[in-house]
Structure 1
Amino acid sequence: MQGEPALPARQQLSIKVVTLLLVSLLAGLTAVGATLYLSWQLEGGAAAINAAGSLRMQTYRLGYTLQLNRERPSAELATQIAQERRQFAATLALLDRGDPARPLYLPSDPAVRARFAAIEQRYAQLLAEPNDVRHDPVRMRVLMDEFVDQINALVLDIEQYNARRTMLMRGSQILLIALAIVGTVTQIYLMFLLVFRPLYRLSGGISRMAEQDYSVRLPVETDDEFGELTRSFNRMADRVADAHGTLEARVQAKTAALNTRNRELALRNDIGAGLNAGLSAEAMCRDFLTRLMQWFGADGGSVRIVDPHSNAAHMVVYEGISDTLAAAEHCLQPGDCLCGASLKDGVAVIHDFRKLPSAPEPYSCEREGFVQVSAFPVRARTRQTGQFNLHFRRSRDITRSERDLLEALGEQLGIALENLRLAAREREIAVYEERNLLAQGLHDSIAQGLSFLNLQVQMLNDSLKRGATAEARDIVPLLKAGVQESYDDVRELLNNFRTRLAEGDLVANMRATIERFRRQTGIAVDFDAVGSGTPLPAEDQLQLLFVLQEALSNVRKHAYATTVRVRFTNERDVTLEIRDDGRGFDAAEMAARAEGHVGLKIMQERASRLSAQLQVESDHGAVLRLTIPFDARRLDERTQERTGKHGDQGIAG
């Protein structure tokens, strides 16, 4: 039937065992069923014997009642005779139909059935006898004796039938015992033959395998599960023997591969240490090339860096090649020669000159005696920043793992070179920013002072030309004051240039700055530092110190104050407040001059670097308040990218 899976061709052990058990069960059930049937027949026959035996008593009782009725006829005796006749007929009917519930039934033996039929017929004849015969006591007694003899013969036939059934039941019980013994012995033998012997054989084979006897093989004697298991054991033994035979070679291969990986890892670590040693680009490339040539046994090599503007690759370092070849290939354009083609495509290539098509002229590397040259890109992430070459005078087979290693090392070098470039660019930007602030500071202080002196010198020259000595004498003190102010500005700038800030030393540096201001100006300064919040990054501390210096410089130049109060708070928010009792300023005039007030502009730029808020107010003097909110402090702690960028440079306001 379609859709049903086909049974396997081999006879399964489970089918054999189940069949054996089912046959044993069927034989046992058959013997037990036969015994039960025979016992049921014997029980029914015994009940039939009792019922047939009761017919004799009923016959004599009926004869006795008839005799009494002849001697003393009465209605009561007539009724009793009719009742006894009905009882006799009921017993005959019971024997004829049987009663399975008791059980009771007349055996189906032909002789018994014929005997019973004769009794029924004789009973019917007795009922049909003439009255003269029934009233003759002697004749009646003879007939009754003959009838009882027939009943006795029926009982004897039933007993003989039961005796034969008893013998059959005993025989079936003996057969059942024999079946039990034979079945048990057969099952034990078959289980030993089908299960235990294959298990012992497999156990012996496994024990020999455990003792390193890899030549053991087991015979396949059956086509069942144990046969398949034996075949699997033999296959396993073949594989184990093969593995054991090649184990030493595989261990050596694995050891060699592990040693190679360890050497590659050591090379990566050494080159990584050299790339992170803070060397210049040339020294970094030279160390990189030297280690590669030693590791791969190269006879020559070079490293080139790509110019991002012209896309040309300039040779930075070289070893093992002549100066002439280095000079000829100092600047390599994409597409030039074999290495230029690799540079253009950005892929690693390995060229064996002996396997290349013949060219009109030999390649320059070939003329130098190299038979193989390889080129690998130097990348910084996805951008190609250069190329390095390895030259061999003898053919060198570079495996796939070695190619992967060289490409990975090229990426390491590319990232290191890119980091150098970014660091240089960062320093350049930092210098530019500081120069811009320096220019603004010079413009706000010295430049304005020199402009004032220039104007006074012109007025002095004009007075002398006109001979106005009185005007000249008035101008000289102004010149002296201007020169002194310019000198003070220069000295303040120099002091700010030399500012250095140790980590966590902001309050001490503030005290030193305030003390220097007090000595130079004679203005009294009160300083309070409160709070124990998280210290600011070093650069933020320096920017905060520069804001304080610029604010004090403005007080010196413009406030005409006698007292200054400085309060620094480092709690959830960071606040720096500088308050003086000077003349203050006009807010409208300050707003109009905001663009031209370089000092205030510089402080605003520094506050922007700190992500801070800068407020300048006039209230019985001037108040400058710089606040770094808590969220801005958390942002600084997350990034930390600006730390140390300007930490060793000072700027005056």
Structure 2
Amino acid sequence: MLDRYPLLSRLSLMLACLASLSAALFVSAGVAARLESLALAQPDGDAAARLAGVGLIQVVLMFLFVAGCGLILRTAWKVLAVRTDLALARVAAHTAGAVAAPAGGIDEIDRLVRSLDSVAAQLAGRLADGERLSRHAREQERFAARSLEFIYRACANLAENSASAPWLTTLLEDMADCLQAHCCSLALLDPVAEGLGVPAVLGAPRLARLLDEFDADELARSGGLRRSVAGPDGEIVELAVPVRDADNIYGVLIVEARGDFLFESRHRRLVDAVAGLFALSLGNLQRNQRRRRLALMDERSAIAGELHDSLAQALSYMKLQIARLQLEIGRSCSACAPGGTVLDISGEIKTGLDSAYRHLRELLSAFRTSMPPGGLQQALREVVEELSARAGTEIGLDYRLGDVPLSANEEFHLLQIVREALTNVVRHARADHALIRLERDEDGEVLVLVEDDGRGIQPDNGGEGHHGVSIMHERARQLGGSLTLDEGAGGAGTCVEVRFRPRSAPG
């Protein structure tokens, strides 16, 4: 027991010594009193000498007693005041203090100091953990607030805007800011991008480096990718998430962040939610476009059926009748010699009927033309491939209307105008090269140019394909625009130019 408390044992020993000294002083005082009485009774005896010896002993005992009291007071002050103050100061400062306790410990105060140091260290660790958890909680709260605000803006934009390139880029910028990432990119499959009229690859503030190594279709169909690689500015981490719904795959969403960024579950959930929003938007737009095109095709097919069942049959019947009339006039009317007025009039009627019938067949063909899922750009590409393979003319397509919203009716009219212009190039121009260019000028008008290097036509009479030219003029008027024919670049060939303002464009 005393081994565990050496300070108490030392104090007890010192107090026992003081008690012994006190007892010795008390005994010596009694002896001195007796010797003093003897010395008074017998002056000539040896009592006086013994009394002097006892006095000397008392002085020594008194000196030892005073020294022991001073030693006890000094030890008590050092232990109970100085070392206790140091221990309390170390506890108050939560540190090991300037005076370190021995590793093995000397007394209770040393063990108390070590215990207090341990408690202080634990408290400091708990405070550090609490501060770290508090910072993490505040960061989680800020991220949740930014994520909710971002999702709200994305849903609002989704409800108000179509999937144009600026809209998609804005969402990618907001997402990069919310995740504090280097960049965010959206890579769409080619049919999806062509159908929506947007670039196949978008990025904010730049494109992800992952797209330099992998194809968007490969990433989307493989289920995405997550990896850490060395970049020009240090290590980076990349995450690719497919943009898909239950029916289709539209592309892949890529996030590139710094190397120490950990894609926790909250970050992954946000990226998945954005990918789902993109898929929802793109899917709805594609379905709406298909519905509008199907509705328009159904209407045109119904009109074509009505024309075929009524006007086409009537014109066919009239053509047969005018042929019979000419035959009967030649047989039975002796006054109707060749070159006569009656025969000329019947010939003009037949020519007019042939022209009307040809116009009607062209209208029926146009009404029955279907628009592919990829929209105008895909339809023009199919026309170019068809006519290039059939005629051997090299035809180029420069399509720059990706961000221009066109109605289904406008797309059909443009397709028919370009088809008719290319048909005239193939049939009449004898051209080696042709170019189709579609773009939007600074005033917001759509400009369509069909140029060739053939023999050209006269702008006044329209050339050999004047029936087709008149139909093109009529389609341009229905678009609210104009169509002009002129010489091509350098005075060679022909240039067909169409200008109109889309219905959805601001006035």
TM-score by length of 1: 0.29
TM-score by length of 2: 0.36
